[in-house]
Amino acid sequence: MNASKLARTSLSILLAHRARTLVSCGAVFIGVAALVLMVGAGQAGERDLRARIREMGSNNLAVRAGHFQTVGRHVQQVSRTTTLLPQDVELLRRQLLGVRRLAGVATDTKVVRFRAEAQALSIVGVDPEYFELQRLVVARGRAFSAEEERGLARVAVVGATAAHELFELDDPIGQQVRVGGVPFEIIGVTAKKGGGLFGADPDQDVYVPLSTLLSRLLGRSWVDVVLVQADSPALFPVLRHDIAEDLRRAHHLAAGRPDDFTIQDPAALLAAEHEMGEAFRALVGGVAGVSLATGGIGIIAVMLMTVRERTREIGLRRAIGATRRAILFQFLFEAGLLTGLGGLAGALFALPANALICRLAGWPTVWPVAAMLAGTAFSVGLGVLCGIAPAVRAARLEPAVAVRAAV
């Protein structure tokens, strides 16, 4: 028996039944494509997540004003308060042990104008320590100083992307811009960093002294967040306790009243985002599972039909010397080939689709080659498995009966 030549005749028969082959490949195509996409997106998301954990520093705690909840990708503010003040930041700076850096942060969106150019950007008011705490490197020019912060200086450091869009070919350093109508001088541009948490992009932001933002632009006294960089994540439990105690006392919260702030650690936030990824994977995995199951059932049906339609062919093959085993293998092979082609096509389709998803999601592009191979191999296995019953039926046909068949 000549397996490769037999395979070739099987292939030409399948190709001649183009429509049926396409239909029965379809579900497997979707299944394997979903499978590869799931793995690809999972890997990309995972890699992105790790990069961001590294990037943002796993030592940071965030103290937010008000009460927050993390729902999926979004941090929702359940209640808003105006009680977290710059003096709280100073209090924590004085009181806390095991803290390396500390920065108050307030954010709002303002229109930034440079000549005819106008863009709505996030204006982030920060303590000067913020840059080091967030590992934001000021690539050109300089960051603002503590004196400038205290003196409500109208100076700004722009994110790399924002600078590029706003100033294009001009040198940003020393340029005058208007932020919400107030003139500011650009004193620095940050290096490209990427990977902000929950969709924020540090490269798109404009950084100004916290006090300047609060009094000159927003006319308010409270901050949104206090970032606390611990000496080590091991100190998180202690710090959470100390921060809560200090702030409750400062805010005169009687026992039994809820906190008017929320302490988050980024690792936990990332874990929440990771969970979100799990949900996505479960969904796509479900799609893959359902289509593969559908494909499997479809293949059984198609192969049974094939065996019925090709009874006389089976009889002929037996007459010219095919053993039962050769017939069995032929139909197992055809089933595996059918699903294998569908799977391979799905895997090949998933590759650019995955790259596109990675790009849209802003993830590093991964090429899930192992998943492609595994998906294709799996689809072949699925076909062979589903082909067993029809192939056994074909092999069991009595040659004398089969050869007399009407078809």
Residues that bind other proteins (CB under 8 A): 1-2, 5-6, 9, 12-13, 16-17, 312-313, 315-326, 398-400, 403-404
Residue 332 CB: number of other CB atoms within 10 A?
22
The one-letter amino acid at 404:
R
Run of H or E including 111: strand 99-114
Which of 193/318 has CB closer to other proteins? 318
Which of 315/346 has CB closer to other proteins? 315
Which of 227/394 has CB closer to other proteins? 394
Which of 144/329 has CB closer to other proteins? 329
Give the torsion through C-alpha atoms of 358, 362, 364, 369, to 10 deg: 0
Which of 25/228 has CB closer to other proteins? 25
Compute the least distance from the CB of residue 377 to other proteins, in Å: 26
Compute the least distance from the CB of residue 311 to other proteins, in Å: 11
Compute the least distance from the CB of residue 341 to other proteins, in Å: 16
Compute the least distance from the CB of residue 22 to other proteins, in Å: 16
Compute the least distance from the CB of residue 398 to other proteins, in Å: 7
- Are 109 and 239 in contact, with CB atoms under 8 Å apart? no
The Cα 271–Cα 274 span in angstroms is 5
- Are 186 and 174 in contact, with CB atoms under 8 Å apart? yes
Q: Write the DSSP assignment of 325-349 as a string of letters.
A: HHHHHHHHHHHHHHHHHHHHHHHHH
For the chain, the helix, strand and coil percentages under 3-state DSSP, each to the nearest 5: 60, 20, 25
Compute the least distance from the CB of residue 318 to other proteins, in Å: 7
Compute the least distance from the CB of residue 302 to other proteins, in Å: 16
Which of 16/254 has CB closer to other proteins? 16
Which of 14/270 has CB closer to other proteins? 14
SS (H, E, C) 116-173: CEEEEEEEEEECCHHHHHCCCCEEEECCCCHHHHHCCCCEEEECHHHHHHHHCCCCCC
**Residues in Cβ contact with 88 at an 8 Å cutoff, skipping those fewer than 6 apart:** 223, 226, 247, 250
